[in-house]
Structure 1
């Protein structure tokens, strides 16, 4: 629904702005420019989708091997002590606990195909403990906010899009997105914890929170001690090293557990290939709408309006071109992806604007979609504090994205 409104709105606004510019004589050729923009954007969408095919085929095949070899189960065991503190009062051994841990672990590894079914199962299992059906419990509120914040360890789709857009080092956004998404999760969790008055002084919980903060903060601090021209290279090296390490870990697990890695890889690769092909209509549709809107002058008006509001912050002017992605992300992931692609096409994949758009895209999940999906699956009518807490998480993630962009790419 949100994407339909956005898509139609872009066309109608473009039509109105184009007509106004033509009638006033501001741009007699605006309709020709809009028509040409639609063809150019359609070609770009198709070319980007084809460029994604190889990366998605490879990575989804590798992730399938990791899933079959038990990587998700191992992560689930490691995360289990933490989730017991985040969801206090959940009965020991309840099926919801396993489903939530599986959801978090799958999100960390970029296994969207495993994360969503596990999330839906978790919500349904939590509903069996709900004394007031139709109203979200504390556990359901926490789970939806954490999923909407979505800590991202391997931003595979964003790196694939950067590669397809001609980025020199597609993995250079790895560490910045990890830190930005961690800010989102921390903001969402702490907000819900304050609302629910959770015990934050628990040693295990403190250990996890402080440990994560120390690792990420220490990593950024070490990088900041490097000459500025080496920070980007160090982030790229770290990201690619962790990705290769994960691949070797998955293959080693498959070997130890006698999984036929090749056959599993082929099955996953076929899924990746189909996923890439299925993206073509979506990418073409949204990029054409954005392209027509830009050609009508609408994007320039939007960017100038935003810049007038945020100039006092000291942000570089190049940041403004990424604001449409930020504004769209909580509403529609597909539209935000299209705006990210448009920013990279317009300003360059390795420009400050293009990279910041990628960071904003990866800093959090699509808030309204997650809430609608999970609450609708079990018929929740009252989601209580989910939306405000999830929006706080979004703001924290966006602030983290801006900070990382200023540190790494300015």
Structure 2
């Protein structure tokens, strides 16, 4: 219900703002809001050729292409004058995200089709894990901890193994594997849900822990920083881990208090201490490596573990061929069945993803997001907040809405201020410290047709705020 109302508010307020901007003269055309693509020039005015300054008019007439670019600077947006059909069209700035209709197309081509491919492959592997008995054994080993965190889940339930694989994939920065495992977990938890339209306690806990984004190897962030010319691309790894870990603990405590979980459980404390120990141990190992060693380690660890998971799954399935024969199937046929289920899941979540991304596109291109962002920056500047922190805030503000959008701001901040500036580093920490809240809710709850998300959205947004505050303190402490 909350998500539905928020979605309506985004759409309606953005449309009203676009219409008001057009009729007030603040915007010359709204075509880019609907049909424009990211990086396109924005038409801001149109005049007859005798209405433009003489030097521009003369320059246009001398050019073969009837085009003139003023203040050409690769680090800033150009103002371009284009003579066409007896008028001069004036463009200034570039579009920050795709328009509404372009987003509808790209959400299918660039997001859903790749996601369906990932879902097909990893759901095929999940089917092998289920029939071979690996998932059941994993659930049995981890049940003592999970039944304390998820009291409503029966001991040894299959959802435990799916959630474990999802958390592990997120932990290692394997986004392509995390989503299929997470969707499988939501489907399994939905089987236990007595009210199919309303999120259960277990689903809310899982969603909030997943969205807190606990990450050990921020592979993509390190890659972006390396491409931007950072002298030490991996230097944000420890701040990212600290920020995302605090976000995860905050999510667990907030939801745990709401659900009256027993925090004094011995198995829960042991599980938490084991996790902390693993993080500290790996950090100590990475910390003693030199720059080349860190880059080599961080760029290969996640990939090696993913290959190990795939290899182990296939090898164990081969060793357990008798179980497949008892189920009247083969290893390959089971993979195909699982892959087919993954494709169906991808088709199911497409409308949810489309609806959310379309609203975000309209919100960004309407100019409403920029006004809110500028307003927050103005408040922060008057409170005496460091300008380098303010310059990184667009990444934090857009991160809950769109991973791609905040990534664009991240790359822009590193290009403008430098990858090794406080702004560039803080932007990197913002980007890797949490998930895209609205996208995640649309995908995961949409996959099982949950309509009432209860307090999940509010909790996830609160965790986002906690991660932002933590990231600021950690960044200023380290850098």
Is the radius of gyration larger for structure 1 or structure 2? 2
Does residue 38 (structure 1) correspond to residue 97 (structure 2)? The answer is no
Of the three residues 127, 146, 149, the one matched with 2:208 is: 149
Q: Quick check: 269-278 or 187-196, which moved more?
A: 187-196
Shift of 1:8: 3.0
Equivalent positions of 1:167-186 (< 5 A) are: 183-186=246-249
Cα deviation, residue 24, structure 1: 3.1
Deviating more after overlay: 288-297 vs 175-184: 175-184
Q: Which has the higher strand share?
A: 2
Alignment of 1:8-407 (within 5 A): 8-29=8-29, 31-36=30-35, 37-48=99-110, 49-83=112-146, 96-98=153-155, 101-110=157-166, 111-122=181-192, 124=194, 143=202, 146-151=205-210, 183-190=246-253, 196=260, 198=262, 200=264, 202=266, 204-226=267-289, 231=294, 234-258=297-321, 259=324, 260-309=330-379, 312=385, 315=389, 317-326=391-400, 336=401, 339-344=402-407, 356-357=430-431, 359-361=433-435, 366=441, 390=459, 394=463, 398=467, 402=471
Residues 60 and 194 of structure 1: is their aligned pair in 2 closer, same or farther, counting only changes over 3 Å? closer
Post-superposition offset of 1:61: 1.8
Alignment partner of 1:361: what SS?
Answer: coil
User: Cα distance, 1:217 vs. partner?
Assistant: 2.9
Q: Which moved more, 1:173-182 or 1:247-256?
A: 173-182
CA contact (8 A) 2:128 2:317 kept: yes
Rounded to whole Å, the distance in 2 between the matches of 1:83 and 1:275 is 26
* In 2: Cα distance, 1:178 partner to 1:249 partner: 28
Gaps spanning 5+ residues in structure 2: where?
36-98, 167-180, 228-233, 325-329, 415-423
Mapped to 1, the partners of 2:255 and 2:205 lie a distance apart of: 9
The answer (yes or no) to whether the contact 1:179–1:400 under 8 Å persists in 2 is: no
User: Which ranges in structure 1 are unaligned for 5 or more consecutive residues?
Assistant: 126-139, 327-335, 378-382
TM-score, structure 1 normalization = 0.66
Helix, strand or coil: the match of 1:360? Answer: coil
Shift of 1:46: 2.6
Change beyond 3 A, Cα 1:192–1:264: same
Aligned equivalents of 2:336, 2:474: Cα separation in 1 = 37
Displacement after TM superposition at 1:120 (Å): 4.1
Conservation of the 8 A alpha-carbon contact between 2:117 and 2:343: yes
Cα drift, residue 113 of structure 1: 4.7
Range moving further from structure 2, 222-231 or 238-247: 222-231
Higher RCO (Cα < 8 Å, 6 or more apart): 1
Q: 1:50–1:345: structure 2 CA closer, same or farther, 3 Å change rule? A: farther
Tell me how far apart the structure 2 counterparts of residues 108 and 397 of structure 1 sit (CA, whole Å): 24
Q: State how far apart, in whole Å, the 2-side matches of 1:273 and 1:20 are.
A: 42
SS at match of 1:26: coil
Match of 2:13, SS state, is helix
Q: Relative to 1, partners in 2 of residues 1:112 and 1:354: Cα closer, same or farther, differing over 3 Å? A: same
* CA 402–74 in structure 1, closer or farther in 2 if over 3 Å, else same: farther
Specify whether residues 102 and 176 from structure 1 end up closer, same or farther in structure 2 by C-alpha distance, changes over 3 A only: farther
Instruction: Give the number of equivalent residue pairs.
Output: 355
